[in-house]
Amino acid sequence: MSQIKRLVLDVLKPHEPTNVEVASAIGDLQDVDGVNLSLYEVDQQTENVKITVEGPNVNYDLVQQTIENLGGVVHSVDEIIAGKKLVEEEETLHDRG
Amino acid sequence: MSFNIEEGRYVILGSIDGLLATLGIILGVSVVSASNSIVVSAGFGGAIALALTNGLGSYLAESTIEHGKLVKTEKSLLRKLNNTYVESQSKKRIVKDALTHGGASFLASLVPLAPWILGVGSAFVSGFLSLITLVALGVYSGYISKQNYIMSVAKMVGLGTLIIITVELLRIVHLV
């Protein structure tokens, strides 16, 4: 199976643990080179965050397990890059329109 | 064990409880008996009972509150938080709060008891040591609340003195 190079996840999490703790926990996983976590919505009980994970061979199940263990829920997988190299999304005429 | 602002609540609550309740027992018993062993016995009994009730009471109260918070969060997340980091941290908080409340109560109880344990007990010495402890608690309270230290000490000492005077008056009324 192809190796996952980048994952972008939409995650709903409680306020505790903090975003710093969540990002650190995912960053500590094997084959994860870096994590970008950005907050885009907050309410009284929860926070919506976008988590971008990059590495030579990111294990999605492990990332999901880590997020769930920290009390979060993966709402959707918004972007996946798999294969031998990182392939960015190309803009088409339709997108430019 | 480090204390944050939330846990400071239990340090103050437990300390005041243990300190003044034990002082009250000492003042009451020392009237009817000047025997060191009787005062120490009564004081220790009270100190242990207070520590246990405070600790267990906190455990039960915090368990209720923490469970309620978890259920609320679960509802928002639409998932259970059993066996997660969130649940384990919640359990740790409950235990820490219970130990802080009970522990602070017991340690503060030892302050007015100390002179009696050392064989140099008197109501005056116990009262004086308790007053010094109240000053320390007032400083701690001021540190946590970031308020004026003098005001915090005055509040703590003032309320503590009021309680001691009330106990003394009740004692005198009882004797009369």
Residue of B nearest to A14 (CA): B73
CB atoms A71 and B78 under 8 Å = no
| Distance (Å) from the alpha carbon of A15 to chain B's nearest alpha carbon | 9
What is the torsional sign of CA B158, B163, B166, B171? Answer: negative
Q: By percentage, how much of chain A surpasses pLDDT 70?
A: 99
| Of residues B103 and A93, more confidently modeled | B103
Run of H or E including B59: helix B36-77
CATH 3.30.930.10 correct for A4-96: no
**Structure-block tokens of residue B163:** 């309680």
CB B163 within 8 A of CB B25: no
pLDDT at B35: 84
pLDDT band of residue B3 (cuts 50, 70, 90) is low
pLDDT at B78: 93
Is residue A17 helix, strand or coil? coil
Residue B1 has pLDDT above 80, yes or no: no
- Find, among A35, A1, A32, A31, the residue nearest to A20 by Cα: A35
Residue of A nearest to B81 (CA): A71
pLDDT at A14: 95
| Distance (Å) from the alpha carbon of A20 to chain B's nearest alpha carbon | 14
Give the mutation candidate from B75, B80, B81, B85 for the A interface (greatest A CB count, under 10 A): B85
b/e per residue, B137-168, with b = 16+ CB within 10 A? bbebbbebeeeeeeebbeebbeebeebbeebb
**Helix B123-145 and helix B149-175: axis angle, to 10°?**
150
Convert the pLDDT of each residue in B70-126 to its tens digit: 999 999 999 999 999 999 999 999 999 999 999 999 999 999 999 999 988 888 899
Residue of B nearest to A13 (CA): B77
Q: What is the mean pLDDT of residues B132-154?
A: 92
- List chain A domain ranges: 4-96
Q: What amino acid occupies position A61? A: D
From the list B76, B77, B84, which residue is nearest A69 (CB)? B84
Q: Does the CB of A46 have a partner CB in chain B at under 8 Å?
A: yes
- Neighboring chain B residues of A46 at a CB cutoff of 8 Å: 73, 76-77
| Of residues A33 and A96, more confidently modeled | A33
Q: What is the mean pLDDT of residues A44-52?
A: 95
Look up tokens 């505790």; give the residue: A16
pLDDT at B176: 61
Q: What amino acid occupies position B24? A: G
Of A39-53, B30-44, B158-172, give the range with the top mean pLDDT: A39-53
Cβ–Cβ pairs < 8 A, chains A and B:
38
Average pLDDT, chain B: 90
Give the mutation candidate from B86, B91, B92, B93 for the A interface (greatest A CB count, under 10 A): B86
- Neighboring chain A residues of B79 at a CB cutoff of 8 Å: 68, 73
Give the integer Cα–Cα distance in Å for B134 and B30. Answer: 22
Residue B174 has pLDDT above 90, yes or no: no
Q: What is the mean pLDDT of residues B47-72?
A: 96
Convert the pLDDT of each residue in A57-88 to its tens digit: 999 999 999 999 999 999 999 999 999 888 88
